[in-house]
């Protein structure tokens, strides 16, 4: 039974800086952000053309230090203690502390992803919306969850407006996807101390088959928690099938794991080069410019040994003669070389998506940030938007920016990507005061904005909706931990026809905050084992309105009259695509 829905109320954050405007010039196909007089003093961003290259080309775009230093230029240096110093247009509304728990006390929940097709559409199956999440037992401390993470799933009825759902989103926890021991079988060294599952993506097919791409991880630690040898992350695939009806969702399969990719040390850093390397978070898709070809983006690090890594003039990216430029020698001596994140690209070699080959990374962030987590593409108006997430704490020495979503735009999956919003890359950040230290999620700083750690692990959905999970809300003397999904927000992409600009839609939901844990499907798959059809959201509503409860009986294989069966199948054929 639905509980009363308490609409999320927006807490108005004091000290929100007005969004800085930027002029954009287009000269011979080159797009360069020009500093607005309202920006703080600092370097100009790097010039990026957005030009597309072949997916296999040996070209990697750079998120440069000159670009990332625009983040401080956007920040209001006069913002007082506990105020937000960043522009409202790129700031997530403040989330209240009285958060509902979507799992009803069963598990911690963080990184989450929906069922999608090759174009990023989100699906329900037989009237059930389905999501996958990293989960851990609530007997663990919230900050201990990472080495115990498993992939779980949730489901809820599709087509219900957020305001009519229970406050926690109306999800039912279905349990773990894998049986114990399945995901550990691919590791040659079985002496691991912990074996865990990290983020990925899920592709659904018309027969109900699901290809679950994820990060399979083995840790080798002693009793004190120190590494005996570097951990072993691998990009992996498991195949299952979904069985859904009005009573719930179950899976079959997912009893075998295929080892797809391991970091190569040529493009992507390995444990031998750096025991703290990143290699995870596969997201698969088809490139509109190359129909029938399937690609994958993932988080990696540039393949340099940790202790001898160096950054170049191109990584710094300053305009000639810029008085605010750093020297390569200064940057390399600062410790910034420990932060050498990149976004990798791979291409499928067969239709089953069981064989892949590495391509050069599409974006590097050398001497900018160590983490480019959960990368994904959104295709809109002929442009390719590359989104990733990063922590404030993983920015390199001399740089600073909020926790949140960072975005880049180009003309193809391999482009000279231009960072969004004044060249900074910031698309959607937590309320943050860059004038004060952030602290840690378990110990936020006294002077920091209460929303500094409020949300992370964002995923951009169709229509610009963005979901994330709650980490910590509050400051040093009054904070709560999350472990459940945040309210969904909406990000307008290509504001005013400018493909380099995004902005939070504060008219969405209540002051910019939509329903808690709201991850709506925009397409719907119906199958009874014999017939299968995929329809749009509007079409699904029309079929259900016409057929009523008989539609559920039909999907469950229960007896329905010949006339009703004919009506349902006619409607599905009419609206299906």
Write out the catalytic residue numbers.
111, 373
Number of CB atoms found within 10 A of residue 395's CB: 21
- Token output for 505: 């839609």
Helix (H) or strand (E) holding 498: none
Q: Pairing relation of β-strands 61-62 and 356-366? A: parallel
| CA gyration radius, the chain | 23
Q: For residues 163 and 515, what is the distance between their CA atoms, to the nearest angstrom?
A: 7
Q: Residue 113: left if φ>0, alpha if ψ -120 to 50, beta else—which one?
A: beta
Q: What is the rounded CA–CA span in Å between residue 418 and residue 129? A: 35
What residues contact residue 158 under an 8 Å CB cut-off, 6+ apart?
A: 124, 127, 128, 129, 520, 521, 524, 540
Q: Which two tokens stand for residue 320?
A: 């000639």
Q: Give φ, ψ of 361 to 5 degrees.
A: -60, 150
Contacts of 389 (CB under 8 A, 6+ apart): 371, 373, 374, 403, 404, 405, 406, 456, 457, 458
Quick one: tokens of 56? 């296999």
CB 455 within 8 A of CB 102: no
Q: Cβ atoms within 10 A of the Cβ of 14, count?
A: 13
In order of 50, 246, 351, the CA distances from 533 in angstroms are 38, 17, 21
Q: Is the Cα torsion angle 217, 223, 225, 229 positive or negative in sign?
A: negative
């Amino acid at each position: 039974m639905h509980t009363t829905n308490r609409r999320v109320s927006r807490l108005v954050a004091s000290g929100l800086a007005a969004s800085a405007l930027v002029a954009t010039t287009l000269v011979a196909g080159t797009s360069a952000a020009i500093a607005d007089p309202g920006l703080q003093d600092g370097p100009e961003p790097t010039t990026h053309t957005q030009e597309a290259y072949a997916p296999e080309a040996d070209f990697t775009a750079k998120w440069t230090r000159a670009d990332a230093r625009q983040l401080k230029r956007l920040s209001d240096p006069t913002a007082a203690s506990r105020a937000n110093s960043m522009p409202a247009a790129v700031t997530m509304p403040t989330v209240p502390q009285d958060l509902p728990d979507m799992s009803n006390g069963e598990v911690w929940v963080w990184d989450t992803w929906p069922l999608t097709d090759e174009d990023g559409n989100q699906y329900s199956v037989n009237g059930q919306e389905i999501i996958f999440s990293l989960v851990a037992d609530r007997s663990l401390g919230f900050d201990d969850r990472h080495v115990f993470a498993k992939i779980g799933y949730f489901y809820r009825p599709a087509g219900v407006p957020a305001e009519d759902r229970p406050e926690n989103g109306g999800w039912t926890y279905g349990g773990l996807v894998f049986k114990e021991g399945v995901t550990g079988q691919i590791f040659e060294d079985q002496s691991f101390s912990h074996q865990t599952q990290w983020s990925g993506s899920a592709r659904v097919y018309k027969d109900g088959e699901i290809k679950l791409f994820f990060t399979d991880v083995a840790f080798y630690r002693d009793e004190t928690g120190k590494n005996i040898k570097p951990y072993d992350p691998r990009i992996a695939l498991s195949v299952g099938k979904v069985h859904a009806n009005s009573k719930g969702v179950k899976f079959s399969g997912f009893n075998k794991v295929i080892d797809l990719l391991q970091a190569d040390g040529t493009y992507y850093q390995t444990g031998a080069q750096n025991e703290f390397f990143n290699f995870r978070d596969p997201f698969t898709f088809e490139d509109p410019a190359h129909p029938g070809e399937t690609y994958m983006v993932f988080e990696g690090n540039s393949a340099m040994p940790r202790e001898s890594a160096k950054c170049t003039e191109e990584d710094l990216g300053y305009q000639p003669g810029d008085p605010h430029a750093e020297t390569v020698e200064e940057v390399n001596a600062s410790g910034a070389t420990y932060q050498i994140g990149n976004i990798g690209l791979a291409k499928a070699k067969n239709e089953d998506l069981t064989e892949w080959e590495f391509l050069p990374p599409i974006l590097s962030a050398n001497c900018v940030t160590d983490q480019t987590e959960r990368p994904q593409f959104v295709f809109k108006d002929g442009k390719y938007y590359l989104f990733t997430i990063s922590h404030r704490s993983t920015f390199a020495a001399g740089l600073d920016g909020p926790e949140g979503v960072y975005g880049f735009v180009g003309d193809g999956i391999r482009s000279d990507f231009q960072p969004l919003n004044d060249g900074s890359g910031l698309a959607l950040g937590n309320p943050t005061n860059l004038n004060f230290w952030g602290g840690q999620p378990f110990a936020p700083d006294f002077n920091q904005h209460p929303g500094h750690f409020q949300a992370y692990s964002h995923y951009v959905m169709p229509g610009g909706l963005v979901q994330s999970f709650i980490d910590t809300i509050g400051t040093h003397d009054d904070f709560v931990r999350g472990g459940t999904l945040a309210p969904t927000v909406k990000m307008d992409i290509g504001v005013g026809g400018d493909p380099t600009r995004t902005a939070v839609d504060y008219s969405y939901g209540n002051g910019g905050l939509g329903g808690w844990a709201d991850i709506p499907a925009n397409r719907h798959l119906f199958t009874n084992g014999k017939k299968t059809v995929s329809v749009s959201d509007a079409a699904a509503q029309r079929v259900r309105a016409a057929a009523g409860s008989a539609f559920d009986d039909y999907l469950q294989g229960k007896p329905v009259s010949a006339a009703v069966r004919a009506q349902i199948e006619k409607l599905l054929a009419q609206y299906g695509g």
